[in-house]
Amino acid sequence: MEQLLKSDFYFDLPEELIAQDPLEDRSSSRLLVLDKNTGNVEHHVFRDIIDYLEAGDCLVINNTKVIPARLMGVREGTGATIEVLLLKRKENDIWETLVKPGKKAKVGTKIIFGDGLLVGEVVDIVEEGNRLIQFHYEGIFEEILDKLGQMPLPPYITHQLQDKNRYQTVYAKHDGSAAAPTAGLHFTPELLQQVRDKGVEIAEVTLHVGLGTFRPVKEDNLLNHHMHSEFYNIDQSEADKINKAKAEGHRVISVGTTSTRTLESAALEDGSLKACSGWTEIFIYPGYQFKVIDALITNFHLPESTLVMLVSALAGRENVLAAYKQAVDERYRFFSFGDAMFIHAK
């Protein structure tokens, strides 16, 4: 196979197209519809997605919930400000975290949050300089986190989020993500009801999105890029819905790259699924043969990101870059709070 370069996925993106705030009405975002076979593009509003769904299809959503994982604390003794970002829950109230500034957080350092409501102690330094922190508190950790923590918005969003819930999908259930599965942000309860009323099955999977999602690809040769690992879970009842759609010749439509990575990681060789959970480091780029998904709802992603590579694996790099150029020309809004794209084949 020919070498794939990071630069093959570059496109010019004016900074003012990066959406800083969510729209008032989630479903009023714009929707670019791309035919993955012909490259044909149509422009719609997100709620028009209903016109592209057919009875018997299975829409797969990621029901992870973003935790308010950004904590501001002070170092015991010096009072220096330290920012802690929760990445992965280990055991016994130990979390893998990203600490800024890292040099102030040696093993043994204690960090006080919320006047002592929560105290963290650095117990180890692991790969990439991440800190393992053991937390001490009285009460329920999630409730304390809800009181003290902030939503860990991506680095390219500079505005303060007025309403925490706008960085959650309306179907968020299971705590654990450091970032939202943003393709799902466009759905409202009313739109989901319309989807059900049309005879479309909705299957739920869980993938806790890690901040590695925003980590830039540093390697020029894609094959040298190592993906971060993320935890996923699929229950048997949901696997059955997906298997049924496939067996009956209907489409499996994934909402977001996170749902896609979950399904493709969990799939057996024949494309079927069974209940499972585990960690995935799957990296999907052109040349990948999809086992489960037929169509994808997704947002517009960063140039040279693993997410643009995944989308290109489904629709072809030339088709995707041409569609992105149209999106830029038409002033679509990009990234987490931006507009959406539906990739399918007629």
- DSSP type of residue 26: G
Q: What is the pLDDT along the chain (346 residues), one digit of tens a residue?
A: 467 899 999 999 999 999 999 999 999 999 999 999 999 999 999 999 999 999 999 999 999 999 999 999 999 999 999 999 998 889 889 999 999 998 889 999 999 999 999 999 999 999 889 999 999 999 999 999 999 999 888 888 888 888 888 999 999 999 999 899 999 999 999 999 999 999 999 999 999 998 777 678 999 998 899 888 899 999 999 999 999 999 999 999 999 999 999 999 999 999 999 999 999 999 999 999 999 999 999 999 999 999 999 999 999 999 999 999 999 999 999 999 999 999 999 8
Burial 296-328 (b: 16+ CB within 10 A, else e): bbbbbbbbbbbbbbbbbbbbbbebbbbbbeebb
| ω into 101 cis (within 30 of 0) | yes
Residue 85's closest CA among 105, 103, 70?
Answer: 70
Backbone φ and ψ for 89, nearest 5 degrees, come out as -80, 125
- C-beta of residue 345 within 8 angstroms of C-beta of residue 37: yes
Residues 6+ apart with CB under 8 A from 128: none
In this structure, how many other beta carbons lie within 10 angstroms of the beta carbon of residue 13?
A: 17
Q: What pLDDT is stored for residue 152 in this prediction?
A: 86
pTM over 0.95: no
Residues in the chain: 346
Q: What is the pLDDT of residue 103?
A: 86
